[in-house]
Amino acid sequence: MVRYTCHTGHKYSAQSMLNAQNSEVEAALWTALRFLKERALLLEEMARKASSSKYALSEKNFHEQAQEVRKHAEVLGQILQDGTRAAENPAARKPIPKNSAATKSAATRRRRQK
């Protein structure tokens, strides 16, 4: 059986290493989503304060930044929701297209191993 060792020295089977990595990546992405939402709220608050201080250019800039951050949060949230649904229903998973970056990367790894 092939065993893998993480950077801290823990030993894993291939499947348990993948599971541990998946959990860590998902937790990091949910944290990133929370921070994006908090950033958008902060930018809107800064825009309100700039508005009350008559700094129209700053107000506009903060609103635009908040809008951009909200778009990023929406995309990340959708990806996380799609991943959650796929994990709950494996039959609903979309196959990876043959010419995708993930497929090319896997093919490259196989060639290097030979």
**So what's the pLDDT on residue 12?**
86
pLDDT-derived band of residue 29, with 50, 70 and 90 as boundaries? very high
How many CB atoms within 10 Å of residue 73? 19
Q: What is the mean pLDDT of residues 28-40?
A: 98
The tens digit of pLDDT for each residue in 63-83 reads: 999 999 999 999 999 999 998
The tens digit of pLDDT for each residue in 85-95 reads: 777 776 655 55
How many CB atoms within 10 Å of residue 58? 15
Burial class (CB in 10 A: 0-12, 13-18, 19+), 114: exposed
Is pTM beyond 0.95 here? no
Domain ranges of the chain: 27-87
Longest Cα pair distance anywhere in the chain, in angstroms?
68
